[in-house]
Structure 1
Amino acid sequence: MNIIPAILPHNFEEIIEKCARVEGLVINVQVDVCDGVFGREKTWMPTGMEVLPGGFSYEFDLMIDDWKLYTLHCLTLGAKSIVSHVDMFVDGDMETLIGMVAPHSAHLGIAVSNDKSLDFHAEMIRKAQSLYPHVFIQVMGIKNIGEQSQLFDEETPGRIKALKQQFGEIMIQVDGGMTLDTAKLVKDAGAENIVTGSFIFGRDDAGSSLEELNRAVNE
């Protein structure tokens, strides 16, 4: 199981600082981008002109209303993956999103929240898969997106199992609510990746936190 540190940055300097804390320990990091409306907490918002720290593969989790603008900004920054929250998508939006992501060969994650039915999200995932080969699923492990240090949503393992039954080998990762115990739960349910911020960066030694979590899910 892969562990992806999540950064919820209030400014660009926080990305630099937190990347430095896990440098040499991981390749993949996720940067959360929240507008304070779709995602409750307001974060740093990319312009596309920044220079990200080298040595990492960046995934951007976009919890924003103006997803078109910031998808472009993140792709300009070199995003290898984009996680899109599609709860408010209308006809044509998925085609627009794929049209933006495909020229960059970036992977596309469809976020599965508990605000919409699993059937709705399954339909959106199928739509994405019909248009693009590099699609994965991100199941939200918390109820309020765009906030860290939240309690685990106990319905998460059931959603993972249901999605695995429908989509087979598609990669599923879980974002939020991760502890040593909940990480084991989602792994047993079928998740391949976990994304966590507070467990790693909420302690002084991010490396020790990563090592502890890695032992819990991979030994």
Structure 2
Amino acid sequence: MDDIFVPNFTWDFSVAQEIIKGSPIPVDAHLMIADVDRIALDYAAIGTASVTIHAEASETPRKTLQAIRAAGARSGLALKPGTDISVYEDLVDVVDMFLIMTVEPGFGGQSFMKEMMEKVARTRKLIGDRPIWLQVDGGISIDTIAIAREAGADTFVAGSAVFNSADPAEMVKMLRHRAADV
């Protein structure tokens, strides 16, 4: 987050480099930034497992997604709640993951937008049997993860639910169990 594309700031590229360098697990970079077409390639080049760009921030999404893949990372395309998936259907051949935002991006702790489940279902239909992940981000909790799974999501970001929990590891187990029950 760069405080331009969304009204919040997290950390800069140098901090991300250190996280990626020191992480024993694959790192996903969800770039909520304005200059995404240029900066996404920097993240892909340092060994980030997947780099997700926002469709609304990219002037050349096809080119950027192809470049992310060429650098060895999985390519992701995120869509804000108000963005129609049909505008980006032609990118299905260069996307490894679609990310449907279920809150307005920028701040944690927002309420899950159940009305986004129609977009999730449409995106699942678009994906068909292709090996493309369908991720949801925003308001994911014990109460909402099954709703998102039923709509077709297979990958979940549950920041506030996990980090605000008294026992984050147990919360992750509970979320996984709840998603698997669908």
The TM-score by the shorter chain falls in which range?
A: 0.7 to 0.9
The within-5 A match list for 1:1-219 is 34-47=1-14, 49-50=17-18, 52=20, 53-90=22-59, 93-122=60-89, 126-127=90-91, 129=93, 132=94, 135-142=96-103, 144-169=104-129, 170-219=132-181
TM-score, normalised to structure 1, is 0.73
Q: Distance in 1 between matches of 2:178 and 2:88?
A: 30
Q: Distance in 1 between matches of 2:114 and 2:62?
A: 33
Q: Distance in 1 between matches of 2:91 and 2:19?
A: 33
Q: Quick check: 2:78–2:101 contact (8 Å CA) kept in 1? A: yes
Residue 82 of structure 1: how far off its partner (Å): 0.7
1:127 maps to amino acid: L
Q: Distance in 2 between matches of 1:218 and 1:95?
A: 33
TM-score, normalised to structure 2, is 0.87
More moved, 106-115 vs 184-193: 106-115
Q: Quick check: 1:173–1:194 contact (8 Å CA) kept in 2? A: yes
Q: Quick check: 2:44–2:71 contact (8 Å CA) kept in 1? A: yes
RMSD of aligned alpha carbons: 2.0
Q: Distance in 2 between matches of 1:127 and 1:51?
A: 30
Equivalent residue, structure 2, for 1:5: none
Higher share in helix? 2
Residue 64 of structure 1: how far off its partner (Å): 0.4
Q: Quick check: 1:58–1:79 contact (8 Å CA) kept in 2? A: yes
Greater relative CO, 1 or 2 (CA 8 Å, sep 6+): 1
Higher share in strand? 1
Distance of aligned partners of 1:55 and 1:88 in 2 relative to their CA distance in 1, 3 Å threshold: closer
Distance of aligned partners of 1:71 and 1:218 in 2 relative to their CA distance in 1, 3 Å threshold: same
Distance of aligned partners of 1:154 and 1:69 in 2 relative to their CA distance in 1, 3 Å threshold: same
* Structure 1: gaps spanning 5 or more residues: 1-33
Q: Sequence identity, in percent?
A: 22
Residue 206 of structure 1: how far off its partner (Å): 1.1
